[in-house]
């Protein structure tokens, strides 16, 4: 009798320990899964933000391209620069020594005089065009590029956050996978213990994990109840 009673007591203690480990493990697993879900939700939200920034960045790039291609300022600048270049080319065609060979003195003197006049006009045109383009860049293009720079910085920050979250998620996933295997092993051991359980003290622990003494397995571990109260009849 004493031997049987001791075995029953040992069985009850093992069951109590297993149920306690499963209950503790289940709580930890729930926490880990919750943290994984939170990180997944954060990354999904961040990915949507990145997509929105990228879409806006592309729209601004198209707007900038259209301004550069269609702006009257740009077209006028190109026209005026060409006129300046044409003046220089016209002078070279008449007075440049490397094109027409040695020049007569009168032609040479005329070339010098016209060169001074042309240089003055050409420099004035190019300087004025440069100022116009700088103003266009400052007022029309720079604001777009400043917005794009902020968007790119936000994209980089979001991308870094996504990578960091994923790295943390992978660690949590490894822990939760290992814990699930441990709980499965405990569940398997508990099946054997509950199959052999014969005392009310032992069965109260089996009942807390869904064991009904009729089936040879355990239901999915979704909720572990406190062991029901049991005592010998008076």
Residue whose entry in the numeric block shows the structure tokens 């291609």: 69
**What pLDDT shows up at residue 154?**
98
Assess whether pLDDT exceeds 50 at residue 20.
Answer: yes
Mean pLDDT across the chain? 83
Ramachandran region, residue 210 (left: φ > 0; alpha: ψ -120 to 50; beta: rest):
left
Q: What would the mean pLDDT of 3-19 be, rounded to a whole number? A: 69
For the stretch 96-108, pLDDT in tens is 765 556 767 777 7
Record the pTM: 0.69
Long-range contacts of 161-164 (CB under 8 A, 24+ apart): 161/42, 161/46, 162/43, 162/46, 162/47, 162/50
> Which pair of tokens denotes residue 28?
């930890």
- Residue 190 Cα to chain centre, angstroms: 43
Assess whether pLDDT exceeds 50 at residue 223.
Answer: no
Assess whether pLDDT exceeds 80 at residue 25.
Answer: yes
Assess whether pLDDT exceeds 90 at residue 8.
Answer: no
Range picked from 25-29, 63-67, 206-210 for highest mean pLDDT:
63-67
Assess whether pLDDT exceeds 50 at residue 52.
Answer: yes
At 218, the pLDDT band (50, 70, 90 cuts) reads low
At 210, the pLDDT band (50, 70, 90 cuts) reads low
Residue whose entry in the numeric block shows the structure tokens 């009310």: 200
Among 97-106, 185-194, 217-226, the minimum mean pLDDT is found in: 217-226
Query: Do 199 and 11 touch, CB atoms closer than 8 A?
Result: yes
For the stretch 55-73, pLDDT in tens is 999 999 999 999 999 999 9
**What pLDDT shows up at residue 132?**
96
Could you tell me how many residues make up the chain?
234
DSSP letters of the chain? -HHHHHHHHHHHHHHHHHHHHHHHHHHHHHHHHHHHHHHHHHHHHHHHHHHHHHHHHHHHHHHHHHHHHH-HHHHHHHHHHHHHHHHHHHHHHHH-HHHH-SPPHHHHHHHHHHHHHHHHHHHHHHHHHHHHHHHHIIIIIHHHHHHHHHHHHHHHHHHHHHHHHHHHHHHHHHHHHHHHHHHHHHHHHHHHHHHH--SHHHHHHHHTTT--SSSSS----S--PPPPP-----
Inter-CA distances, 199 with 2, 23, 141, Å: 14, 22, 84
**What pLDDT shows up at residue 200?**
72
**What pLDDT shows up at residue 83?**
95
């Amino acid at each position: 009798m004493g031997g049987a009673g001791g075995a029953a007591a040992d069985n009850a203690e093992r069951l109590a320990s297993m149920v306690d480990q499963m209950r503790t493990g289940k709580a930890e697993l729930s926490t880990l899964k919750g943290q994984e879900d939170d990180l997944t939700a954060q990354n999904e939200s961040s990915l949507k933000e990145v997509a929105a920034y990228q879409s806006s960045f592309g729209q601004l790039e198209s707007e900038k391209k259209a301004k550069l291609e269609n702006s009257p300022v740009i077209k006028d600048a190109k026209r005026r620069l060409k006129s300046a270049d044409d003046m220089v080319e016209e002078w070279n065609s008449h007075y440049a020594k490397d094109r027409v060979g040695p020049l007569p003195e009168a032609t040479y003197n005329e070339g010098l005089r016209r060169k001074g006049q042309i240089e003055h006009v050409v420099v004035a045109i190019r300087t004025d065009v440069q100022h116009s383009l700088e103003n266009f860049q400052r007022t029309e293009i720079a604001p777009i590029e400043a917005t794009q720079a902020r968007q790119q910085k936000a994209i980089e920050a979001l991308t870094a956050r996504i990578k960091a979250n994923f790295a943390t998620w992978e660690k949590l996933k490894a822990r939760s996978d290992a814990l699930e295997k441990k709980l499965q092993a405990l569940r398997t051991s508990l099946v054997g213990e509950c199959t052999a359980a014969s005392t009310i003290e032992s069965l109260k622990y089996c009942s807390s994990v869904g064991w009904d003494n009729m089936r040879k397995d355990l239901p999915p571990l979704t909720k572990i109840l406190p062991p029901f109260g049991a005592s010998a009849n008076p």
